[in-house]
Amino acid sequence: MLAAFTAVGVTFANTELPEVEALTQSTYICAADVEAGKCTGQNAMAKVAAKGQGDGSDEGDRVNIPFDQLPDVLINAVLSVEDRDFFEHKGIDPVGIARALYRDVKGDVVQQGGSTITQQYVKTAFDLTRERSITRKVREAVLSIKLEREMSKQEILEGYLNTIYFGRGAYGVGAASQAYFGIDVRDPKFGPAEAAFLAGLIRAPNLAEPLKHPEEAIRRRHTALVAMENEGYITAEEVEFADAIALTEPYVQPFDSIKRVDVRRGDWGGRYVTDYVNTELARIGFTQKEIDDGGLRVYTSLNYDMQKAAWDAVTSTLNVETDPEAAMVAVDDQGLVRAMVGSRHPFTPASEGVTGFQANYAVRSGNAEGRPTGSTFKPIVLAEAIRRNYSLESRYNALAEVEIPLEKCDNYNDEGQREPWSPSNYSESDAGVLDLVAATRESSNTAYAQLMADVQPPGVAQLATAMGLGGKKGVGDIGCAAVLGTVQATPLEMAGVFSTFANRGVYKQPEIITRVERVDQDGNATVIYERQVTQKQVLTAEQADKVTHALQTVLAEGGTAADNAIGKDAAGKTGTSQDNKDAWFAGYVPRLTAVVWMGYPVTCPMKEGDCPVHGINVTGGSLPAEIWQKFMSTATANLNDEFIELTPEQLEAGEIINGDQLLTPDETTTTMPPVVTLPTPPQTPGTGKPGGGHQTTTTNPVGTTATTDPSSTSSTETTLLPGPGP
């Protein structure tokens, strides 16, 4: 025995007290309805669990509560159950330690010790081994005594109550109260019944899970209540009242499993949003450890009413199990993401034998890297033509099929041989002479193919990149066929493009995070990030207004989405990729833009003979436009802004392509417009690569000016294909 006490003395002298590490804390993500500084577990739309320990899981939840905010009833309950003499002893219970030493000398297995709250805290804070051995008990006791010399009782109790595991992935009383009762531990509703229940969980909490082991949970709560009564903290009447509360739903929150990301407010596709928020935090500069454990409070621009409207619009339209995927993004006039549907399916992690649904098709992520844009790319070409001072009255003969000479558009067939590009209209019909407004309204492939050949791809690529298409890398080298939608993009990127038109030429990078705070160990929040709008003027206001003027006709009589008008000023564009594999609708009102995409993950033509949807051949003007209309009718209910109305002089301004050669149906020979003769740009032959060419020269047509110069690439290369649908 003497040798044992001597060993203890030596251990005491040689043991240094480690630093108490800062506790990890969960991150909470809040929607736009939560005010700055008020994002909590109660109003968060999602929680990103902090890394835990001690329960066999590496994930958990922790929210630190300062001592002066801990309710007295909770402190009293824990002291009554775990350590009634906490404020009197010096860190250890000598009787308990002696009992443990005696049993070890006898060779007995240590079944229990006299662990004080300080000892329990030391074991957790300093990550001591869980092994029940005399060596561990002696080290634990020594550290406990030394810790009491360095920290006050209040500091130790605060650390203990914020550290211990309560089951359900909850570390600390702050997370535990939320996990079991859905209330903040500081809420006045938190009383003796809740405090006694949590105090009773401390020893082996999983064995007292109320929804699995109700009898044990009731027994432990009663034991804690009686202990509190014995200590004089509560009355017999309070014990009786608390005992009468059933430990069942809804008093006890439902629970299935510990979730890495827990969406707490109306799912409506929210898990896809929180994963995107995680990605955006990393882009801003936060490390994964900060996101996981840093106690961040992330404020987003997500509008819950719009999010629900978007989810309902998608899922009510595509409501058959075999329907294709769909995604939607809505962005306001400040570039803030107000709604995001990443998939029509609820988020489902992949598991053995289950594919799962995890890809967010609204953004570039995982295996979702964008899809061909179809004719929703045409407005970018229109904007470039207007930027070069071409008039909306420029016109083309929109034959069923046209042949573009190699001098204007390099092209290769499937055998790798150079041959003229021959795009055709979706309906393979001759539309006659169309000016640019009519060509937009009808989404004429052959008219726009000729326009692309005249303005040339490099300038279009520069403008597309300046409006956010292609992400960080931009669209790169493109060829003439890009006008018909060969460029891949995401709904988020296309929302940035179309909101540029709505914002009268100002591109505002779509973003969802508006503010980030970090909560310290004392619960104080510090602002560490606030959004600064990333914007640039890529078109003049008048140039953008001209694009909007043309796009308004798409939703008007004779337009490709005329059936989906919303009864107020709106503009948009339909898009269908090659062979109906992707269908889009992008549209906007002055203060809100929404983009819809649909298609199968493994591409399958959405048409008769392949994969028709609801018995129809899907184009951008069918189901995608229907989804857009459903969403916008709800989302814009209180928005009645009008577009700027251009004067006849503004609409007629600029050089008119083919004005001396072609007349539109409503013109006569007595109203001949001004003339511009287009030169043939110098051409460098391609490299022989099948399906594509390489253009190295950008030529501005004679008599034109580029009033804005969004910088990007200066060469193009692409696979040139026949045009898709409207």
CA distance 585 to 629: 10
558 — alpha (psi -120 to 50), left (phi > 0) or beta? left
The side-by-side arrangement of strands in the sheet containing 337-341 is 337-341, 325-332, 592-599, 582-589, 571-576
CA distance 400 to 443: 13
On the CB side of 433, CA atoms within 13 Å amount to: 14
Indicate the number of domains in the chain.
Answer: 2
* pLDDT > 90? residue 157: yes
- Name which of 432, 435, 443 is nearest 394 in CA terms: 435
Q: For residue 437, is it within any domain?
A: yes
pLDDT at 233: 97
At which of 243, 274, 295 does a domain end? 243
Reported in sequence order, the residue ranges of 462-618 that DSSP labels E, i.e. its strands, are 488-489, 506-508, 513-519, 525-530, 535-537, 571-576, 582-589, 592-599
On the CB side of 120, CA atoms within 13 Å amount to: 23
* pLDDT > 60? residue 687: no
pLDDT tens string 283-317: 999 988 888 878 899 999 999 999 999 999 999 99
Instruction: State the pLDDT confidence band at 147, using cuts at 50, 70 and 90.
Output: confident
* pLDDT > 60? residue 555: yes
The CA-CA-CA angle for residues 226, 229, 231, to 5°, reads 115
Instruction: State the pLDDT confidence band at 14, using cuts at 50, 70 and 90.
Output: very low
Comparing 55-69, 215-229, 471-485, 593-607, which segment has the lowest mean pLDDT?
55-69
Q: For residue 102, is it within any domain?
A: yes
Q: For residue 674, is it within any domain?
A: yes
Comparing 151-155, 448-452, 514-518, 592-596, which segment has the lowest mean pLDDT?
151-155
CB-CB contact of 483 with 396 (8 Å): no
- Name which of 202, 169, 157 is nearest 50 in CA terms: 169
The residue written with tokens 């983009």 in the block is 595
CA distance 442 to 548: 15
Instruction: State the pLDDT confidence band at 391, using cuts at 50, 70 and 90.
Output: very high
CB-CB contact of 233 with 76 (8 Å): yes
> Residue 471: which CATH number?
3.40.710.10
pLDDT averaged over every residue in the chain: 84
Q: For residue 322, is it within any domain?
A: no
- Give the range of the structural domain holding residue 558, as residue numbers without chain letter: 372-504+541-575+651-719
Shared-domain flag, residues 382 and 234: no
Q: For residue 304, is it within any domain?
A: no
Highest mean pLDDT among 157-171, 544-558, 680-694, 702-716: 544-558
CA distance 226 to 129: 33
Instruction: State the pLDDT confidence band at 111, using cuts at 50, 70 and 90.
Output: very low
pLDDT at 684: 35
The residue written with tokens 């009102």 in the block is 589
At which of 243, 275, 305 does a domain end? 243
Task: Tell me the mean pLDDT in the region 362-371.
Answer: 82
Q: For residue 107, is it within any domain?
A: yes
For the chain, the residue count is 726
pLDDT at 682: 40
Task: Tell me the mean pLDDT in the region 418-426.
Answer: 92
CA distance 246 to 650: 73
Share of residues in the chain with pLDDT > 70 (%): 79
How far from each other are the two terminal CA atoms of the chain, in whole angstroms?
A: 91
pLDDT at 51: 58
Let me know how many helices (H) and strands (E) the chain has, helices first: 21, 21
Handedness of CA 448, 451, 453, 459 (dihedral sign): negative
Task: Tell me the mean pLDDT in the region 140-167.
Answer: 86
CB-CB contact of 325 with 314 (8 Å): no
pLDDT at 705: 35
- Name which of 147, 174, 149, 134 is nearest 24 in CA terms: 174
pLDDT tens string 646-672: 999 999 999 999 988 888 887 744 444
Handedness of CA 246, 250, 256, 257 (dihedral sign): negative
CA distance 114 to 85: 12
* pLDDT > 60? residue 129: no
Instruction: State the pLDDT confidence band at 603, using cuts at 50, 70 and 90.
Output: confident
pLDDT tens string 485-499: 999 999 999 999 999
User: For residue 584, what are the β-bridge partners?
Assistant: 575, 597
pLDDT at 113: 42
* pLDDT > 70? residue 212: yes
Q: For residue 282, is it within any domain?
A: no
- Name which of 170, 158, 198 is nearest 66 in CA terms: 158
- Name which of 419, 384, 393 is nearest 660 in CA terms: 393
| Gyration radius of the chain over CA positions | 34
Instruction: State the pLDDT confidence band at 134, using cuts at 50, 70 and 90.
Output: low
At which of 243, 264, 292 does a domain end? 243
* pLDDT > 90? residue 141: no
pLDDT tens string 214-242: 999 999 999 999 999 999 999 999 999 99
pLDDT at 349: 66
Q: Exposure of 253 by Cβ count < 10 A (0-12 exposed, 13-18 middle, 19+ buried)?
A: middle
Q: For residue 483, is it within any domain?
A: yes
